[in-house]
Amino acid sequence: MSGFALVSDKSGPRPLSEMLAAIRHRGALAQSRRHDHIEWGILNRSSNAHFKAELGGSQKMSVLVEGWIEGADELVQRLGCTTLPDAIAESVHREGVQALTRLRGAFVIVLIDLTTMQISVYRDPQGLRPAYFFSDGNVFVAASEVKAVLAYPGTPRRVDSTVLTQLLVNGLEPPDRSLVLGVNKVLPGHLAEFHPASAVRSRLLTSPFVPMRDISVLEAESELQRYLQENEIALAREAAQHLGIPHDAHEVGAKDDLVDLMRKAVTASEQPGRYANALLLVHSFERWQDGPTVVGCGECADVLFGGYPYRIRQRAGLLKQVLRSDRVLQFLGRCANRFGQGRGDLFELALVPPQDFRFYVAEVFECDRVSRLMGMDPFETVARDFATIWDEIDREPDVPDLQRFMYVDLRIATQTVVDKLEKIAASAGIDVLHPFLMPRIVDLALALPISRKFRNGQEKIVPSRIAHKSFPPLPRRTKIGFSVPRGQWLREDSGLRQVAEALADPGARIGNYVDRDELKFIVGEFTSSGGARFSDSLWILTSAELWCEGMGI
């Protein structure tokens, strides 16, 4: 586990020590440096951790690397350097920032040009390591977590209402913003550049697409099996044993057991508003302190290896509504036609006229209620984010439609899960890896033809073949899902219930950003219905209230 913080301010305070103290759960101070008006420092939990931070560079460029880079030792040796930051500085001197596009792994790289004092922050293409920043044109503050950025006294302490609106509508965070107004994220594969007296400029540096190749299902299965055998399958067996489930039996009528574990994980946490599924993983795997915990994310497998029908159904209408363009309608039509034959109503959302879809979403997500609560159109708040991602896709005209759709999903749904899990794991001092998002697996998935991922109604062909060979009969059973019982938790946990019921009080922090009368109505409906109504919305609002209290917002 590791972290970093940086502050560039010519006239005001540079509270680097306070920023690093805010994220001390990521490790102890390993090193700090000062270059004129720029100060930065790194934290490391241990010298041999999978994720670690290093400072180095050259006479012309200072470099910070946080995370893990594939083939780092070979790069250092090939360039005749002594440290990874030195090797990256040498690569950039030779080839410019395009040298960063060949690096793969989970990392954040910060470059300081010691001649111009320009700061550049680059984030790995899958967005596996976090990088947040605030800038007002004269000041630039960056760190691994929002709480470190908030330790700088000039950072605004206000909630971004548009982000809260998105969370209420679909539970997804914007790819480039945080819940704090003005504190943004560096987008995956992007380079954010700052020079004093200028605005931050962000540009896509690494294209997310790779050419498709004629890879057979057997070849893909062999490659994925080789990687997962070292990681996910072994961990799954250990996890089953750790949770008291015999591997050979796996009779998981464990729905109730899992719900109970999730509830205990949430209520035992110092921050009960955090997401239950990630907390369950962290609490269950706490004993793996000597190395990285490997967490398989179902979102990743769905997006990369062929869970298209459900995901197209889930996202298509929202894309259509917020972008309102012919190119999107044509794209969705092609996706529907590609897999829609013989699938009945599976693609009904992709074919619903935009004006009708708005009513459907309003029913599902209670968007009309959110609109009154937040005082804005929920669809308008997400239009900008979808449009930004779509512009990136349009730069690659020869990419197949379903690969484009996969990229949209990676940037929105998967990124939200990865970001949340990283924060929660970091709070427990645990390194987390995502096998399905490791570079060679992503490259394999992007290069694999669509017909090898989805065929004759079968989804996720390659992972399914591996599961059938590696696990007992459980994977062949029909999938049984269950919802997270947020309403039950809000009713039964006295602490959470007290916070939720107090949201409509004049002293509630979240009341500064919503219509208080509407909030009072939502709390009243939840209480009178025994938790049956507005439980998801109230859970998010309660989480936001606890978060604002903890952050002093």
CB proximity list for 494: less than 8 A, separation 6 or greater: none
Q: Give phi and psi for 257, each to the nearest 5.
A: -65, -45
Beta bridge partners of 67: 52, 107
Q: Which helix (H) or strand (E) holds 284?
A: helix 276-284
Q: What would the two tokens of residue 484 be?
A: 């997270």
Type of residue numbered 380: E
Q: Are 186 and 202 in contact (CB under 8 A)?
A: yes
> Domain map of the chain by residue range?
2-204, 217-304+415-474, 486-551
Beta bridge partners of 63: 56, 111
Q: Are 282 and 424 in contact (CB under 8 A)?
A: yes
- Give which of 287, 195, 183 is closest to 235, Cα–Cα: 287
Beta bridge partners of 33: 40
User: If DSSP codes are grouped into helix, strand and coil, which group holds residue 156?
Assistant: coil
Q: CATH code for 2-204?
A: 3.60.20.10
Residue 342 has a pLDDT of 35
Q: Are 419 and 299 in contact (CB under 8 A)?
A: no
Q: How many CA atoms lie within 13 A of 318 on its CB side?
A: 27
In order, the DSSP letters of 292-349 are PEE---HHHHHHHHT-HHHHHHHHHHHHHHHH--HHHHHHHHHHHHHHHTT-GGGGHH
**pTM for this structure?**
0.80
Beta bridge partners of 120: 111, 193
In order, the DSSP letters of 102-151 are G--EEEEEEEEETTT--EEEEE-TT--S--EEEE-SS-EEEESSHHHHHT
Total residues found in the chain within this entry: 553
Q: Are 513 and 239 in contact (CB under 8 A)?
A: no
Q: Give phi and psi for 551, each to the nearest 5.
A: -90, -5
The CB density around residue 458, as the number of other CB atoms within 10 Å, is: 10
Q: What CA–CA distance (Å, rounded) separates 421 from 199?
A: 30
Walking along the chain (553 residues) 10 residues at a time, the average pLDDT comes out as: 92 88 91 92 79 90 94 93 96 95 93 95 92 94 95 93 85 85 94 89 81 79 69 46 43 38 41 35 36 52 64 50 48 47 36 40 57 81 68 70 71 78 74 74 80 72 69 48 71 82 89 92 86 83 88 86
Residue 175 has a pLDDT of 83
Beta bridge partners of 29: 43
Q: Give phi and psi for 509, each to the nearest 5.
A: -65, -40
Residue 266 has a pLDDT of 39
Residue 157 has a pLDDT of 93
CB proximity list for 126: less than 8 A, separation 6 or greater: 106, 188, 410, 418, 434, 437, 439, 442
CB proximity list for 471: less than 8 A, separation 6 or greater: 233, 236, 250
In order, the DSSP letters of 421-451 are HHHHHHHTT--EE-GGGSHHHHHHHHHS-GG
Contacts 24+ apart (CB under 8 A), 131-136: 131/185, 131/186, 131/192, 132/178, 132/183, 132/184, 132/185, 132/186, 133/183, 133/184, 133/185, 133/186, 133/192, 133/194, 133/200, 134/182, 134/183, 134/184, 135/194, 135/199, 135/200, 136/182
The residue whose two tokens read 């179902």 is: 298
User: If DSSP codes are grouped into helix, strand and coil, which group holds residue 5?
Assistant: strand
